[in-house]
Amino acid sequence: MKHKDILEPEISLLLETVYQKYHYDFRQYSEAHIRRRIMNRMAMSGLEDVSQMRSKILNDETFASRLLQDLSITVTEMFRDPGFYRSLRENVIPVLKTYPFIKIWHAGCSTGEEAYSMSIILQEEGLYDRTTIYATDFNQQALNKAKEGIFSNELMKEYTINYQLSGGKESFSGYYTSNYNNVIMNQSLKKNIVWANHNLVTDGVFAEVHLILCRNVLIYFERDLQNKVQALFYNSLINGGILCLGSKEGLRFTDLYEEYVELDKKQRIFKKKY
């Protein structure tokens, strides 16, 4: 059988196996995304069909953990989409300044670049000391890297440009220390970040927050699952709280569209109605 012939019921059965054995629930992720990842992993592992893959998942935990990494796409950047961060500075920071203390949730934070970008902006705006940032992901490997705050030196050129385009006025190299081929983010950027394992599909509300960033995560979810996660965000936000989504994500086709006003339509920034 050619890999492109993988049938939908085979994918469902495979995802059911992953769920039953490892309690990771990908059953309502977009089929195109899952299919692509499964095909890649099959090709790389020399597997001939989905049933071979199923038995490997059941019997080989290392293989299963590799597949889980495949299914959780961790691509990220500091100041990813600089226009978004420019808008955050202009439209969101002034709202945050009105609160005596601030709680921010980065849902699907991957290896932490997004949370470090937020720390930098909050420091520059004099808000960091009254903020707690919850940065969560269901991928423990990504979270461990995030906690370390060690990134490749090679990335810094691109991140510096992103930072400048996002309205950053300081010297970006002041936010890290170089160490051979890597950089280590300043301890002062980490001190108010709480890194935690949280699964958007299976875990619930854990705090009431003023701002949620969930960028480039929901794009992989089917409509019903997006609605479920949007309900989680709605219940986690204070009235007047702000929700930021990725550039290809939105609220228009979700059940909660009417419950928000758009603060910046292009940059997908929404404010929960009072």
Among 64, 142, 189, 245, binds ligand SAM (CB under 6 A): 142
The 67-106 contact track toward ligand SAM, x by CB under 6 A, reads: -----xxxxx---x--------------------------
Nearer to ligand SAM, 47 or 254 (CB): 254
Stretch that binds ligand SAM, among 136-144, 160-168, 232-240, 248-256 (CB under 6 A): 136-144
Is 123 a binding residue for ligand SAM by CB under 6 A? The answer is: no
**Nearest distance, CB of residue 78 and ligand SAM, angstroms:** 9
Is 230 a binding residue for ligand SAM by CB under 6 A? The answer is: no
Phi-psi region of 240 (alpha: psi -120 to 50; beta: other; left: phi over 0): left
- Pull the structure tokens for residue 201: 């599909």
Q: Is 25 helix (H, G, I), strand (E, B) or coil?
A: coil
The answer to whether the beta carbons of residues 126 and 120 sit under 8 Å apart is: no
Within 8 A by CB and 6+ apart from 85, the residues are 79, 117, 121, 162, 166, 167
Stretch that binds ligand SAM, among 47-55, 85-93, 133-141, 168-176 (CB under 6 A): 133-141
Is 217 a binding residue for ligand SAM by CB under 6 A? The answer is: yes
Phi-psi region of 46 (alpha: psi -120 to 50; beta: other; left: phi over 0): left
Give burial (CB, 10 Å; 0-12/13-18/19+) of 229. Answer: buried
Nearer to ligand SAM, 118 or 237 (CB): 118
Give the binding site for ligand SAM (CB under 6 A). Answer: 72-76, 80, 108-110, 114, 137-139, 142, 199-201, 215-217, 246
